[in-house]
Amino acid sequence: MSFLIREFDNAKDFENFAKLSFETLVSIKGTPPGMSYQEFFEWAKEWVLDYIEDLELNKIFVAENDDGNYLGHIWLSLQDELKPWEFEEYFWIQNITIDNKFRNQGIGTKLMNHAENWIKRQEVINIGLHVNSESRDAFLLYKTLGYSEYRTQFINKINPAHKGDNVNEIHNIKNITLNEGLNSLKDMIFKSFEVKMRKKASKEIIQTKFNTYIDTLKNKQDENHVFTILNSDSQPCGYFIISISEWKYKKSVTIKDIGFANDSIRARFFPEAYTFIKKWALNQDISFIEIELSKSQKKLANQCKEQGFEMFGCFMEKKLT
């Protein structure tokens, strides 16, 4: 089958774009409780329309056959607000979807190649994406195209039957203010920050980026919660920094940062500390907790699995040449 790849035309393509993107979303997430399929679709359309209006940051390419059929698309976004531990700007593949009727005909590969060539012309050499753990075919495609995993996303669905449990019964875990945490835990937070950095840099650059990270946390004090873990001498030996996020169909806790004084303390205190976090989350009407871990955090990943976390997806990247 012959087809062409062209730029997205909002007036012509939006309905097909929204429909295909939405079908992918529902296949992964399901429909929110209390909403019909159509209600959720109409809400999602408005959300997507608002998101893609910024044409300087978003680029969409459409695959279309000779009969004018919409076969699929790839949606790119320039990540202009880098995380403090990142060094170079990159394009993110927000969504790549092929209509079920036209899959397994090489359309996805050609869309990826077209997008990569366009990105190189923008003088950006980094591209990233997230793939759901259930999307094995997509994962294998990305591996074939030269993408590699650099971070894994885990999710723990928590049992609402434990809601109302007293979180204060674990005496060596304390919920403290962000400023308290940044003052008393700064060395441990810095150590954790260094782990996130995947490129070598001078001490001065690392310190500058770390200061930016701290400023980012301070600017969002209402969103971030700090829990410190105390040893037998009531001294901090570990911490969690978490945030609550809400979207139309979910309310979740994200463990944004986690650190311990050393591996033996992590092995000893993590299960008890995480039990505390789960109880606290349930009392905030949270249904699941998520965490992202790098390859260097394998021991922590294993402990997370022991506490009921399951792999939800992974982040992949490619440096274009």
The band of 168, judged by pLDDT with boundaries at 50, 70 and 90, is: low
pLDDT (0 to 100) of residue 197: 82
pLDDT (0 to 100) of residue 249: 57
Mean pLDDT to the nearest integer, 148-164: 83
pLDDT (0 to 100) of residue 166: 60
- Name residue 91's amino acid: F
pLDDT (0 to 100) of residue 163: 62
pLDDT (0 to 100) of residue 247: 64
CATH of the structural domain 156-311, one choice from 2.40.10.340, 3.40.50.150, 3.40.630.30, 3.40.50.1950: 3.40.630.30
pLDDT at residue 305 is higher than 60:
yes
pLDDT at residue 254 is higher than 80:
yes
The model's pTM is: 0.85
Structural domain boundaries of the chain? 3-146, 156-311
Paired sense of beta strands 58-65 and 3-7, if any: antiparallel
Paired sense of beta strands 288-294 and 250-260, if any: parallel
pLDDT (0 to 100) of residue 211: 92
Q: Rounded to whole angstroms, how far apart are CA atoms 11 and 105?
A: 27
Mean pLDDT to the nearest integer, 43-62: 80
Q: Could you give the strand order of the β-sheet that contains 173-176, starting from the edge strand earlier in sequence?
A: 3-7, 58-65, 70-79, 90-98, 126-132, 310-319, 148-157, 288-294, 250-260, 236-247, 224-230, 173-176
Determine the topology of domain 3-146 in CATH. Aminopeptidase (3.40.630)
The predicted-structure confidence for 58-96, as pLDDT tens digits, reads as follows 899 999 999 999 999 999 998 766 677 777 888 999 889
Distance of alpha carbon 117 from the chain centroid: 25
Query: Is residue 315 helix, strand or coil?
Result: strand
The band of 196, judged by pLDDT with boundaries at 50, 70 and 90, is: confident
pLDDT at residue 165 is higher than 90:
no
pLDDT at residue 36 is higher than 60:
yes
